[in-house]
Chain A
Amino acid sequence: MRRSSGSTIGGIVFKLSLKDLKHEWILTLCLIMAISAVLSPLLLLFGLKFGIIAWARDYLTQDPRYREIRPLTSKSFAPEWFEEMEQREDVAFIVPMTRQISATVKANVKGKTGSEQFNVIPTRPGDPLLLENGAAVPEPGECVLTKFAAEALGAAVGDVIEASAGRIVGSRYEYGTLEMRVAGILSLRASELKSVYVQLDILEAIEQYKDGQAVPELGWSGSTPKAYPLYDGLIIAMRAPLSKVEEYSLFNRTGFTKIETLDNAELKARAGFTVSSEMTVYRLYTQTKPAGEESIRNVENRLRGENAVIFPWIAPIGAELTDGAGNRISEIFLQGLSTAGKRPHAVGLSPAPDWKGADASDGMPLAVMLPEGIDVPDEEVFIRVAGEENLLTFPVSILPQRTDAEIAFVPERLAGILRLFGTRNIRYDETIGEFVLFRKGYAGFRLYARSIFDVDPLRRFFDAQALPVHTEINEIRKVIELDRGMTLIFWLLALVGIAGSVASLVASLYASVERKKREMSVLRLIGLSGPKLFRFPIYQGMLIGTGGFLASLVLFSIFSRMINSWFRPYVDKLLGFPMEAGVNFCRLPLLHMSIALMGTIAISALAAMIAAMRVTRIEPAEALRDE
């Protein structure tokens, strides 16, 4: 033993403990084997825990079937609602769904006979049901089939299928067809239904077609859903007042609910215009939902022969007058006022906009009569109205006439359409020069919670919104219980293993110290104090522990390879699809191995403490007296 000036007593004690282990190598090997006999199964247990058990746990807890939430009732869900839901931490995926009744197609493999009826289900990138069940999300022009759908069609990945959406127009059947390439076939785990997964726009097109509308993108003919006017009430100007009975008849089953008389000042305040003071003016209005053209016709019919002049009325709508670049020229409030067929001079209407010179579309000029004081550039201008969900912008021509009121007037029908914009989505179609309706919302959704633990909180969230949903909460409870049970069993086994290792180490090292009592006392006599020799069994424990761990690692490596190669075919068969290449049944990541090594060394050192305490009680005199 040589000690350079740099080496410490601790270093000497370490070398002594190492040399002692080397000297008694057979006994050391036995101790290492004893430790490894306990550690190896423990490492395999950990390997299985981080391999197949973790995989199975994730497989169960992340199974999209358990994470799916579906609404039980149809409701209109706006696109903004979906955007909000996507932002939630507990939502992994959501895609809108159309009405169930509109989501079926007949399909067959191109070139093969025999077609089948399928549910069409929307998907989009990130769909866990597809991604975790062996299929990619379909690109445009592609679809993914469920296992049973593929079986029914005799379709394979890469085949082209022809799908047709049917509708009855009058007494005639019409079909809109499209071709899609089969991009993937889902495992049975995903669904036991015959379904085809397509991008949302395809499903929207099918629904649109089934509703009788045209889908130009797919070359499917049909109607265009034109916007229609809605009104908040009517202004009626009459030469003679109505009797109470006549008044009653105007709101009895006409679509209006109230009637009131207005003087000219009130009329100006309400509608922005006035009539001759000789006229009696009534305001007929609704209290809940707005009235349509049918209601106006009802009133016209009841006032036939009374020389009444009827002005459909809407509450003022805030809008912006913009230039072609979208820059605001002025903020305006719009109301409707038309003069056609109303004998404006006879009733003393003021102002009396003349829409004849304005551009007309479908008999409705897109023009505005602005209040005085608004400067308009000599270029094309637009009106922009903000709805609940989007903006409606359309070109207008400016009447040379101006009004002294603060209100800007547009033709009554245009005003009625702008009123409709408050409840429906409308866009101005420049190609046909008309206002057309487009989708306001979606009837349902497919939602996947981030994990099964998020399902119940989401269910409560939807309940609070009076939206009953279907969840697999009972199945989830079973999975959670199973997971808890497996974790408990694992830790119990691990605890027994660790206790065994500790007991084995304590017994071995204590016995070793007892056998080496004489050597210890000689070392103490030579001048190594008790606290310094305390380290001797600690170092030995750590060395034996490390040796035991390394031996266990060799055994683990051999057995884990055997497990990984032997059991994979059985599990693949059980799952119905091959597990991902990276999944190992028994594996210990490097980090976990390092933690296990550190843990073994720490536990060995702790176990050696008992032996070390014994060392401190060995007297140096025992070296002399034992002779």
Chain B
Amino acid sequence: MAVENAFSLRNVVKEREKGGNRFELIVEEFEIGAGEFAAIIGASGCGKSTLLDMLGLALNPTRADTFTIRIPGRNIEYEIMGRSEPRLADIRKKHIGYVLQTGGLLPFLTVRENIFLPCAVNGMAGMEDHVDALVKRLKIDDQMPKKPQYLSGGQRQRAAIARALSHRPPIVLADEPTAAVDKPTAQEIIDNFKSLTREMGVTVLMVTHDLQLVEGTADRMFTFAVDKKSDQFTRSVCFEKRGGGEE
């Protein structure tokens, strides 16, 4: 049985201008199957965060031929172009989990409240068993009553992963989730993250600059070809990295 695509992008362009400098990101073809673990790798300024913003429905493309998100197993497909912000917010709320660089936990909530926040926003009750299992797997079950400020960097990232998965989203986007932790911890977090998402059948898109971290782990890898046309104009083209392809 063919795997459904969670993301399908074709000829998606995002143009940005800041301080007289123009940046153009082109995504000619971008597909991620449901349940796949995809990594977007690249150096600073190549456009990986811009791509993640678009995939995370936090930034609208300038133009696109195709930009659809399909919710695996639910026969729901969203055409993203032209949707209003409240509608995009609704898709984000229901179907996407986010793991941010330093966790992105709200400092005024406890770890428990942070983790349950997506469930609360979605009006989901009876998620306690699921969340308890998650936090045990992530080894933060004893940190639940604390405020995020009292957690170590690794614990914060694990709590962020728990929050991203608490409401069972079909898609999780992670932006450099291990940037703020040491290498062994980073590897442990990624392994944990991958095994958890695999078990839950979650499609994962992870941005990282650390190729080693995802090599051998990611099902797919995307990178960028950066072309500095002039001092004021940079064009970056995203493509899938297959079998040792160069950035």
Contact = CB atoms under 8 A, between A and B. Distances in A.
Interface of A: 1-5, 7, 9, 12, 16, 19-20, 22-24, 518-519, 522-531, 619-621, 623-625, 627
Contacts of A20: 108
B119 A3 contact: yes
Contact of A621 (B58, B104, B106, B120): B58
Contacts of A523: 106
Nearest to A11: B120
A23 B113 CA distance: 13
B12 to A, nearest CB: 16
Interface residues of B, number: 39
Contact of B85 (A525, A530, A624): A530
B121 A625 contact: no
A531 B84 CA distance: 13
Contact of B100 (A3, A7, A22, A627): A627
B226 interface: no
B121 A3 contact: yes
5 contacts: A2-B125, A3-B119, A23-B107, A519-B108, A525-B56
B81 to A, nearest CB: 17
B89 interface: yes
* 5 residue pairs, one from A and one from B, having the closest CB atoms: A527-B93, A627-B101, A23-B108, A3-B120, A621-B58
Interface of A is mostly: helix
Contacts of B124: 3
A65 B210 CA distance: 94
B106 A522 contact: yes
Contacts of A623: 58, 98, 100, 104
A19 B58 contact: no
Contacts of B36: none
Given A7-B123, A16-B108, A530-B85, 18 more contacts: A1-B113, A1-B114, A3-B122, A9-B121, A19-B108, A518-B104, A519-B107, A522-B104, A523-B106, A524-B89, A525-B56, A525-B92, A527-B94, A529-B86, A529-B89, A624-B52, A627-B175, A627-B176
A523 B121 CA distance: 10
Given A5-B125, A624-B58, A627-B100, A526 B117 contact: yes
B100 A522 contact: yes
Nearest to A17: B108
A16 B117 CA distance: 10
B53 interface: yes
A523 to B, nearest CB: 7
Interface string B88-105: 011011100010111010
B108 to A, nearest CB: 3
B62 to A, nearest CB: 14
Nearest to B175: A624
B49 interface: yes
Nearest to B97: A526
B98 A526 contact: yes
Given A2-B116, A22-B108, A526 B93 contact: yes
Contacts of A3: 119-125
Contact of A519 (B59, B98, B106): B106
A20 B109 CA distance: 8
A293 to B, nearest CB: 108
